[in-house]
Amino acid sequence: MAIIEVSGVRKAYGGKLAVDGVSFSVEEGEIFGVLGPNGAGKTTTVECVEGLRVPDAGTVRVAGLDPVADHHEVTQILGAQLQQSELQQKLTVREALDLYASFYRKPADGLGLARRLGLEDRLDARFGKLSGGQKQRLFIALALIGSPRVVVLDELTTGLDPRGRRDTWALIEDIRDSGVTVLLVTHFMEEAQRLCDRVAVIDAGRVVALDTPEGLVRQAASSTVITFTPSKPLDERDLAELPGVASVAEKNARLTINGTDDTVNAVISLLARRGVTARQLRVADATLDDAFLDLTGRGGPDGPDARREAFEQDGPPASGLARTETEGVH
Ligand SMILES: Nc1ncnc2c1ncn2[C@@H]1O[C@H](COP(=O)(O)OP(=O)(O)OP(=O)(O)O)[C@@H](O)[C@H]1O
């Protein structure tokens, strides 16, 4: 059953169209990703879902309710992570949890939440003294304190180090396992691929694709990336003619071939025929990044080039991002 229905939503700021007819529905119990580059309209879209912005056209329903007209009811069902918000510096974790619990009819057990989020040792710490990761976890706790059926997490892992990001992913899976539907805004491909059951790719205010991460990758022109350094020069045109090859690129004597499964054997046969050895041969599946590039015509902040370099170094991609401020409609 769909718990969130977004249908034909449009939203302009002054003359600038930020969201241009976005539609999707989120089934109860899934982690649904909204993925797109900076300024694509992701935050505006989820702010319409939260009732923080009024769409110019289209409809939004959360558990059948209108997030603007039925705002009070919707806040009892939908928890939003207060990413950009500050709490009073002197408020302790315990006080913040008690204060937010008082807003809801059926608050969750604040101490239990603090324990689940690894904040039990920080209950008497003041907000101003918390680390970035601890503030992040407190905001997740506050999003969950009303026992919501659905939680909206917007760029949750922004600014976290790789360890913090992975811990947060485990937490998001834990939230879903506890029965809460998750609407996750991200522009980390790896995050969407790892966590989301389905992903809406938004570009320039429109949904350009909606599928499982695997389905999106299948839509990409190439599904396999082969990299190696040939022991002697190879003619790129010979490689380009092999079955399934979508592209061939050379950088610092290292070749990168985007193709299909069939391409791998064809490349190996060609190398054997030419008596060429492939040094540091790597074969990787295409990722959501490649699909994203195909769908939007550009890579994300952890785009194919960055990913390929990271892959060659056997390390995770690193990136930074930014976020816009929020207008309030209550
Ligand atoms: N309050 C505002 N006033 C004017 N323009 C805005 C406002 N908020 C967003 N925009 C513009 O609307 C477009 C969509 O912004 P939005 O924040 O929804 O995108 P986003 O996909 O969430 O981007 P990001 O990943 O950078 O947060 C952008 O061009 C942005 O500059």
Is this complex scored with an ipTM above 0.90? yes
Rg value, the chain, Cα:
23
Single-letter residue type at 325? E
Average pLDDT score over the chain? 85
What spacing in Å lies between the alpha carbon of 257 and ligand 1's midpoint?
36
**Residue 160: per-residue pLDDT:** 75
| Cβ of 42 less than 6 Å from ligand 1 | yes
What spacing in Å lies between the alpha carbon of 8 and ligand 1's midpoint?
18
Q: Which pLDDT tens digit goes with each residue over 190-248? A: 889 899 999 999 999 999 999 998 888 777 666 788 999 999 999 999 999 998 888 89
| Cβ of 41 less than 6 Å from ligand 1 | yes
Q: Which pLDDT tens digit goes with each residue over 138-191? A: 998 999 999 999 999 988 877 777 887 888 888 899 899 999 999 999 888 888
Using a pLDDT cut of 90, give the percent of the chain over it: 58
What spacing in Å lies between the alpha carbon of 125 and ligand 1's midpoint?
34
**Residue 298: per-residue pLDDT:** 58
Q: Cβ(258)–Cβ(267) under 8 Å? A: no
Does position 327 have pLDDT exceeding 50, yes or no? no
d(CA 66, CA 130): 36
What spacing in Å lies between the alpha carbon of 324 and ligand 1's midpoint?
6
Strand partners of residue 255: 228, 250
Give the residue-averaged pLDDT of 25-34: 96
Angle between helices 93-101 and 132-144 (to 10 degrees): 20
| Cβ of 308 less than 6 Å from ligand 1 | no
DSSP string, 186-237: E--HHHHHHH-SEEEEEETTEEEEEE-HHHHHHHSS--EEEEEEESS---HH
